[in-house]
Structures are given as structure tokens and as C-alpha cells.
């Protein structure tokens, strides 16, 4: 292995895990998931409304 990889590995083994960083990364991931799912739900809602309105207009046009 290259020297810089060995040094990085040795440093990661000697430093204690930072719990605060793990919590922040978890919260950031949770926020990304919530924002993405909210945007997806809103998009699907708009698509559904358009589909319903189109179907109603087509039904009215038949009569």
C-alpha cells in the first residue's frame, strides 16, 4: 500500500470515533430523504390532479 494510505489507516485506528459527526451525518441523510420524498409526493399529487381533470373533460366531451 502507498505510504499515505497506511498513514491514513493508522490515524483512523488511533483516533476515537466522533459520535457528534455520526449524528450530524445521520440527520443530514434523514433531511435529504424527507425532502426528496416530499417533492416526489407533491409531484405525484399534481400529476394525479391533471389526470383526473383530463378524464373529466373527456367524459364531458362525450355527452
- Asked whether the whole model's pTM tops 0.95, one would answer no
**Distance separating alpha carbons of residues 31 and 25, to the nearest angstrom:** 10
- What the block records as the C-alpha cell of 62 is 362525450
> Looking at residue 50, what is its pLDDT?
96
**Distance separating alpha carbons of residues 42 and 48, to the nearest angstrom:** 10
Q: Select from 23, 24, 27 the least CA-distant residue to 35.
A: 27
Consecutive 10-residue runs of the chain (63 residues): their mean pLDDT?
A: 71 70 92 98 97 91 77
- What the block records as the C-alpha cell of 31 is 433531511
9: which residues sit within 8 A by CB, 6+ positions away? 1
Q: Helix H segments across the chain?
A: 3-14, 19-62
> Looking at residue 20, what is its pLDDT?
84
Amino acid at each position: 500500500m502507498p505510504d499515505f494510505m497506511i498513514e491514513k489507516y493508522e490515524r483512523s485506528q488511533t483516533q476515537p470515533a466522533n459520535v457528534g459527526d455520526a449524528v450530524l451525518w445521520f440527520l443530514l441523510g434523514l433531511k435529504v430523504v424527507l425532502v426528496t420524498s416530499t417533492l416526489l409526493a407533491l409531484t405525484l399529487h399534481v400529476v394525479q390532479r391533471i389526470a383526473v381533470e383530463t378524464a373529466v373533460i373527456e367524459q364531458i366531451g362525450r355527452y
